Amino acid sequence: MGGSIASVARPAQTIARQTSEVDFALIGHQESWRAAADVLAVLRGPEHAPLPNDEIRDILPWIPPRAVCHVEVGSIARAQARGLYIDSFIPPDRLEAAYVHENIARVRGAAACAIKAGAKIVSLGGFSSILIEGNFDQLPERHDTVFTTGNSLTVGFIVRGIKKMCALEGRDLRRSTLLIVGATGDVGSGCARCLAPLVKRVLLSARNLERLRRLAEELHADGVEVEIATDLVEKGRQQFSAEADLVICAASLASPSLLLDRIAPDAIVCDAGYPKNLSPSAPMPGAKVFFGGLGQITGGLSFAPDFRGVLNRHPFPDVVHGCLLEGMALALERRFEPFSQGRGFITPGRVAEIETIAARHGIYLAPLYNASGPVENVLHRRPNGREDECILFDAAT
Amino acid sequence: METLIGLNCSTVECNSLSPSAPIWQDVLAQAMTGELIAAMNYTSLSEICDDPEEVADALEHAQIERGHAARFAAEGRKIGVDVPNNVDARHWKRLREAFMGCVTERDFIGCLIVQEIMLESFAVASYARVAKVAPGSLGQTFASIAAEEEEHVDHAMSILRAERALDVQRFDDKVYRLHLDVMTTLAKMLAKECKDGHCEVCHGSCVKPSLFDVSLSAAELRGVSLQQYLKTLDLLGIPGEVTLTWVAQLPV
**Residue-by-residue DSSP string for A239-261:** SSSS--SEEEE--SS--GGG-GG
Residues on chain A touching B239 (C-beta within 8 angstroms) = 15, 17, 67
Q: Residue A68: which of B180, B192, B241 has the nearest Cβ?
A: B241
* Interface contact A17-B222, CB threshold 8 A: no
Largest Cα span, chain B: 57
Digitized pLDDT (tens) for each residue of chain A, 397 residues in all: 333 333 333 333 434 444 568 999 999 999 899 999 999 999 999 999 999 999 999 999 999 999 999 999 999 999 999 999 999 999 999 988 889 889 989 999 999 999 999 999 999 998 888 666 656 666 777 678 999 999 999 999 999 999 999 999 999 999 999 999 999 999 999 999 999 999 999 999 988 899 999 999 999 998 899 999 887 656 555 666 667 899 999 987 665 455 565 678 889 999 998 877 776 666 666 788 999 999 999 999 999 999 998 998 899 999 999 999 999 999 999 999 999 988 678 999 999 999 999 999 999 999 999 988 898 765 444 444 444 433 333 333 2
For the residues B18-37, what does the mean pLDDT come to? 94
* Interface contact A63-B230, CB threshold 8 A: yes
Mutate to test the interface with B, among A18, A53, A54, A62 (most CBs of B within 10 A): A62
In angstroms, the Cα distances linking B120 to A53, B124, B134, B186 are 29, 6, 20, 11
Q: Does A386 touch chain B (CB under 8 A)?
A: no
On whether the CB atoms of residues B203 and B211 are closer than 8 A, the answer is no
Q: Name which of B104, B106, B83 is nearest B34 in CA terms.
A: B83
CB pairs under 8 A between A and B: 96
Q: Does A221 touch chain B (CB under 8 A)?
A: no
pLDDT tens-digit series, residues B191-202: 988 777 888 888
Pairing of strands A201-205, A226-229: parallel
* Interface contact A67-B239, CB threshold 8 A: yes
Sheet holding A80-87, edge to edge: A146-148, A121-124, A24-28, A80-87, A66-74, A301-304
In the stretch 104-163 of chain A, residues with CB closer than 8 A to chain B read: 113
Chain A: give the shortest CA distance to residue B131, in Å.
18
User: How far apart (Å, rounded) are the C-alpha atoms in residues A234 and B68?
Assistant: 62
Residues on chain B touching A48 (C-beta within 8 angstroms) = 249
pLDDT tens-digit series, residues A323-344: 999 999 999 999 999 999 886 7
Residues on chain B touching A64 (C-beta within 8 angstroms) = 227, 230-231, 234, 240
Residues on chain B touching A66 (C-beta within 8 angstroms) = 230, 234, 240-241, 243-244
Q: Residue A58: which of B219, B241, B247 has the nearest Cβ?
A: B219
Residues on chain A touching B177 (C-beta within 8 angstroms) = 12
Pairing of strands A387-389, A379-381: antiparallel
On whether the CB atoms of residues A189 and A183 are closer than 8 A, the answer is yes
Mutate to test the interface with B, among A56, A63, A82, A86 (most CBs of B within 10 A): A63
pLDDT tens-digit series, residues B84-100: 999 999 999 999 999 99
pLDDT tens-digit series, residues B41-85: 999 999 999 899 999 999 999 999 999 999 999 999 999 999 999
- Residue A10 confidence (pLDDT): 36
- Residue A242 confidence (pLDDT): 65
**Structural domains of chain B, with CATH:** 19-248 (1.20.1260.10)
For the residues B3-16, what does the mean pLDDT come to? 46
For the residues B147-171, what does the mean pLDDT come to? 92
- Residue A236 confidence (pLDDT): 56
**Residue-by-residue DSSP string for A137-153:** GGSPP-TT-EEE--HHH
* Interface contact A15-B248, CB threshold 8 A: no
Q: Residue A1: which of B223, B243, B252 has the nearest Cβ?
A: B252
SS3 content of chain A, % helix, strand, coil (to 5): 35, 20, 45
Half-sphere exposure of B211 (CA within 13 A, CB side): 22
What is the percentage of chain B residues whose pLDDT exceeds 90?
80
User: How far apart (Å, rounded) are the C-alpha atoms in residues A113 and B240?
Assistant: 8
Inform me whether the pLDDT recorded for B176 exceeds 80. Answer: yes
List residues in chain B touching A: CB distance below 8 A.
168-169, 172-174, 176-177, 180-181, 184-185, 188, 192, 195, 219, 222-224, 226-227, 230-231, 234, 239-245, 247-252
Average pLDDT across chain B, whole number: 91
* Interface contact A1-B180, CB threshold 8 A: no
Inform me whether the pLDDT recorded for B10 exceeds 70. Answer: no
- Residue A195 confidence (pLDDT): 97
- Residue B12 confidence (pLDDT): 54
- Residue A234 confidence (pLDDT): 61
Domain ranges of chain A: 19-152+295-365, 155-291+369-389
Residues on chain B touching A49 (C-beta within 8 angstroms) = none
Exposed / middle / buried, residue A112 (Cβ in 10 Å: 0-12, 13-18, 19+) = middle
- Residue B134 confidence (pLDDT): 95
CATH number of A155-291+369-389: 3.40.50.720
- Residue A395 confidence (pLDDT): 30
Secondary structure letter of residue A395 according to DSSP: -
pLDDT tens-digit series, residues A135-175: 666 677 767 899 999 999 999 999 999 999 999 999 999 99
pTM of the model: 0.87
